[in-house]
Structure 1
Amino acid sequence: MRKLILSLIVFALATTFAFAETKVSRISIAKDIENREPAKTGTEFNAGYHKLYCFTEIETDEYPTEVTHIWIYKKNIEAEVKLNVDSPKWRTYSSKLILPEWVGEWKVEVYSKSGKLIDSIDFTINEQ
């Protein structure tokens, strides 16, 4: 009987860790962060010297952990930012200074600690 109970406990622990999941519940590109929330969000922004933020709300069964924001412009990685996730529901963000000549299509990809792509967001920088 003890072996059966021990086997069940081991199985329960193994399946809990095997199915641990990290996901994005919210993602947005913003001109600002106010009170730990994205402000002035959008998918199109005018060119100029300004900073944009990629805000993500992460839900995870496994913490502490981390996610990585990869900022991509014209298929080139412009920034890779590792961000800590310290609770089951965690808000975090990275930022990127956008130069005036960087017009066109952008993307931020979000990866879990294991390297799995868990979300992405596209946005455009328009000429002024």
Structure 2
Amino acid sequence: MPKRKFLLLLLLMLSTLSWAANEGRIARSWFTTAIEDREPVDRVVVLDNSHDTLYFFTDVRHMEGHSITHSWEYNGQVISKKTFEIKGPRWRVYSKKELDPSMTGKWSVVIRDERGWPLTVAIFEYVDKAEGGKSMILPLSE
């Protein structure tokens, strides 16, 4: 039985990759503390709860006429969704989340196409600064 589940998962992943290869792709996607000129200023891996605002940036290629949805999830539960219509061959979008400092733990954003298929996922850890948690925010290279 586990082999059958693995094969089914592999088939789903390959069909998603095949669609993405034919129709377009997510070129870049990550969490950031700010957006300037439609670009992220940094890359968040771990964020301490002295920060209460976070952005999720996505650079979409060759998916014009389609839509994608950012699904913000906390501990596996959907907290919010934002859908974007893709209107050009290179389309940059972002969603913003106001974070509750008490909601520490694993957060993710799943990017889905209009059929609900997951295209990619990103994860960050929201940690309690009072308990010694420290942010890990990476600079972007030019």
- What is the number of residues matched between the two proteins? 109
Structure 1 residue 98 displacement after superposition: 0.5
Unaligned runs of 5+ in 1: 1-18
Distance in 2 between the 1:26 and 1:49 partners?
23
TM-score (norm: length of structure 2): 0.72
Residues 10-50 of structure 1: CA deviation (Å, up to 9, x unaligned): xxxxxxxxx84232110110010011101132110011352
Q: State the partner residue of 2:138.
A: none
- Following the alignment from structure 1 to structure 2, what is the Cα–Cα distance between the partners of residues 102 and 119? 23
Letter in 2 for 1:32: A
Percent identity for Structure 1 against Structure 2: 25
1:57-91 deviations in whole A, cap 9, x for unaligned?
0112x422210000000111000110121111111
CA distance in 1, matches of 2:73, 2:122: 10
Q: Which amino acid aligns with 2:86?
A: V
Which is greater in Rg?
1
Retained in 2: the 8 A contact 1:73–1:105? yes
1:30 corresponding residue in structure 2: 32
What's the TM-score once normalised by structure 1's chain length? 0.79
Counterpart residue number, 1:58: 60
Pairwise CA RMSD: 1.5
Q: Residues 80-99 of structure 1: matches in 2 within 5 Å?
A: 80-99=81-100
Q: How does 1:1-128 map to 2 (within 5 A)?
A: 20-48=22-50, 50-60=52-62, 62-128=63-129
Aligned equivalents of 1:53 and 1:84: distance in 2?
Answer: 18
